[in-house]
Amino acid sequence: MKSKSRKVAIVGSGMVGSSCAYSMVNQAICDEIMMIDRTYDRAMAQALDLSHCMDFTGSRTKVYAGTFNDCAGMDVIVLTAGANPKPGQTRLDVLDDAAVITQEIVTNIMASGFDGIFVIAANPVDIVTYMVWKISGLPRHRVIGTGTSIDSSRLKTLLSDVFSIDPRSVNGYALGEHGESQFVAWSHVTIGGKPILQIMEQHRERFSQLDLEDIARKTKDAGWEIFTRKGSTHFGIGSALAYITRAILNDEHKIIAVSAILEGEYGLDGVCAGVPAIIGRDGIKELLELNLSSEEAEKFNASCSIIRAGIDRLQLAERITE
C-alpha cells in the first residue's frame, strides 16, 4: 500500500518552535517533524525530548534534527526563528534584525529545492511574511503568516469570560497588523450566531458595564502582558501554528485570520495583513472580504499603512532578491 508521509520542518527550536512541535506531536498532525536551529545541538536535544513523548500519545510522530539542505521534501516549513523585542520595544522595533535573519534562512531553504508552503510566526509577522513571499518567489497562497489568529483567539477567550460560554461559541476577528494598530471588527463578532452588538442592545441592563474598547485593548495588549511577566509567549502561538498546519495537511478549508498578501482585496495591493482566509491543502484557498463599517475600514487602511511603511523602510526592492 502506497502512502505519503506528511512532513513538517520547524525552523527555530526555541520556546515557540518547541511549543509548536509539542502541539503537533500531541495532536498527531503530521508523520514527521524536522527541527532546525542555528545551534544543531539544541535542535537535536529538542528532537530527542519530543521523541520521548511517543509512548504517551495516540500515534507516533518521527521527530529528528536536520538542516536547511534537508528541506526539499517538506510539505510545510514553519518559520519561528527571529529577533525578540527588548523591554519597551514593539514588534516593529526588531524589523531590521528580522530582515537579516529572514533573508538568510529563506535563501538557504529555497536553495534546497523546497516547493511547499511556508507558515510564519517570526515578528513583525506581517512584514516578515511579505519578505518570505518576495524572497522565496512562491505564489502568495503558499506563504501564510500567523497574523491575527492568536489575537482573534485572545478576543474569543475574553468574551467567553464575559458571557460565560465556551470560546469556540464566539466567532469574530481582530484584523490588520499583529501589533499596536490592530482592531476588532465588532460588526462581525457573533455569539452563537447572534451579533454581539444586537445582544448588547437587547440586554442593555445586563451588559451595561461591557466596554468593547476595553476588550479590544486587552486583546491587543495580551501578548505584552504575558511577555513582561515571563519573558516570552509560546503556548498560544505554538498552538496557532499547529492549528494552521493541520488545516493545510488535512485540507480542512478552515477559516482562520492569517497574514496574507493582498492583491486587490479590501481595495489594497502589495501589503500583507491579518484577514480571514480559507486554509486548505494548497495553502490559502480564498481570502474573505468582510463588509466592514466605514469606521472599521478606516482602521484597517490605517493599520495597513503602518505595515506598508515598515516594508518601505526596508527598501525591499534593493534588499530582497525578486
State the binding site for substrate.
91, 123-126, 151-154, 233
List helix spans (H) across the chain: 15-27, 40-51, 95-111, 125-136, 149-163, 196-202, 212-230, 235-249, 294-313, 316-319
Catalytic site residue from 178, 188, 203, 253: 178
234 assigned to active site:
no
Annotated binding-site residues read: 12-17, 37, 42, 82-83, 91, 121-126, 146, 151-154, 233
Strands 117-120 and 76-79: parallel
CA 155 – CA 134 distance, rounded (Å): 31
Annotated binding-site residues for NAD(+) read: 12-17, 37, 42, 82-83, 121-123, 146
Angle, helices 40-51/15-27, rounded to nearest 10 degrees: 30
Radius of gyration over every alpha carbon of the chain, rounded to an integer in angstroms: 19
Closest CA to 223 of 318, 308, 154: 154
> CB–CB of 118/143 below 8 Å?
yes
Looking at the annotation, which residues are catalytic? 178
